[in-house]
């Protein structure tokens, strides 16, 4: 068992604790070497341990471990294949993000935190049955070079260089979906200007500007 295994289990506990998933739905993976570690299929999160994780080599689809990998492993494999910058993926079925996925409506950069962590819109991938290669391709295509994508009628995928950041992407997209819905009850939704979104993302990634100072951490206000 390695530190990476521990981080995957920690992330799994967090998505379960934050109610971003229910039951055994959702999954978490992290890249290592030519392949990636992923949570097993159908195992309750509170029972899952490091030795239950499954290693997948996407080149031949072969897996190593005591259990079958998550049925969504193709989705993870396709994203890792297309995105060498991606080191971790968190897939959740959280309520507000899923509401947008059902309405097939993008989550927009309406607040500064989502502009920082996703860099812009969270698009909805075309529907395909879960577990299929078709869904994997649709999701990777709609994800493009961003780091979150909604799966139509299904849920949310967050990607990042590491697990902590991928989890944060899922948490912030969920929060933003909830905020958008509430804001719509109050009136018109205002999306941040493209140039401001670009600057916020740049500050966040580079640490330049007021976004990542030691005094105010990730707060740009
Ligand atoms: Zn799912």
State pLDDT tens for residues 47-99: 889 999 999 998 888 999 889 999 999 999 999 999 999 999 999 999 999 99
Asked if the structure places residue 221 within a domain, the reply is no
CA angle 44, 161, 9 (to 5 degrees): 20
Is the pLDDT assigned to residue 44 strictly greater than 90?
A: no
In a domain, 217, yes or no: no
Place of tokens 């009136």: 187
**Domain range for residue 7?**
3-212
Q: Are the beta carbons of 24 and 18 closer than 8 angstroms?
A: no
Ligand 1 center to 106 CA (angstroms):
18
202-213 as b/e: b if 16+ CB within 10 A: ebbeeeeeebbe
Q: Residue 24 — pLDDT band, cuts 50, 70, 90?
A: confident
pLDDT > 70: what percent of the chain?
Answer: 94
Collapsing DSSP states into helix, strand and coil, what is residue 91?
A: strand
Q: Distance (Å, rounded) from C-alpha 64 to C-alpha 57?
A: 9
- The domain that holds 77 is classified in CATH as 3.40.225.10
CA-wise closest residue to 89 among 106, 108, 69: 69
Residue 37 located in a structural domain: yes
Q: How far is the CA of 174 from the centre of ligand 1 (A)?
A: 15
Q: How confident is the model at residue 208 (pLDDT cuts 50, 70, 90)?
A: low
Q: Is residue 59 part of a domain?
A: yes
Ligand 1 centroid distance, CA of 167 (Å): 15
Local structure of residue 67 (DSSP, 8 states): S
Instruction: Kindly give the distance from the C-alpha atom of residue 94 to the centroid of ligand 1, in angstroms, as a whole number.
Output: 10
Q: Which residues pair with 63 in a beta bridge?
A: 56
Which residues are marked as active site?
A: 72
Read off the pLDDT of residues 58-68 as tens digits, 9 standing for 90 and up: 888 899 988 99
Q: Residue 220 domain-assigned?
A: no
H-only helix segments in 18-162? 73-82, 95-103, 112-118, 133-143
Q: How far is the CA of 153 from the centre of ligand 1 (A)?
A: 10
Q: Does residue 211 register a pLDDT over 50?
A: no
Burial, 9: exposed, middle or buried (Cβ in 10 Å; 0-12, 13-18, 19+)? buried
Q: Is residue 218 part of a domain?
A: no
Q: How many domains does the chain have?
A: 1
CA–centroid distance, residue 70 to ligand 1 (Å): 9
Digit-coded pLDDT (tens) for 164-205: 999 999 999 999 999 999 999 999 999 999 999 999 999 999
Q: Classify residue 47: in a domain, yes or no.
A: yes
Identify whether 187 is part of a domain: yes
């Amino acid at each position: 068992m390695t530190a990476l295994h521990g981080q995957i289990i920690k992330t799994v506990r967090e998505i379960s604790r934050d109610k971003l998933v229910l039951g055994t739905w959702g999954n978490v993976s992290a890249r290592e070497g030519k392949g990636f570690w992923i949570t097993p299929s159908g195992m309750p999160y509170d029972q899952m341990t490091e030795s239950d994780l499954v290693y997948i080599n996407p080149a031949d689809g072969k897996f190593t471990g005591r259990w079958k990998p998550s049925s969504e492993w193709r989705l993870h494999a396709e994203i890792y294949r297309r995105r060498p910058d991606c080191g971790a993926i968190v897939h959740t079925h959280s309520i507000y993000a899923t509401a947008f996925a059902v309405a097939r409506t993008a989550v927009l950069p309406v607040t500064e935190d989502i502009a920082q962590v996703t860099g812009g819109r969270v698009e909805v991938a075309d529907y395909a049955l879960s577990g299929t290669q078709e869904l994997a391709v649709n999701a990777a295509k709609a994800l493009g070079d961003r780091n979150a994508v909604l799966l139509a009628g299904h849920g949310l995928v967050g990607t990042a260089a590491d697990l902590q950041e991928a989890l944060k992407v899922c948490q912030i997209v969920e929060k933003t979906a909830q905020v958008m819905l509430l804001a719509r009850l109050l009136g018109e939704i205002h999306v941040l200007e493209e140039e401001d979104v670009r600057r916020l993302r740049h500050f966040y990634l580079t640490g330049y500007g007021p976004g990542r100072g030691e005094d105010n951490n990730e707060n740009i206000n």
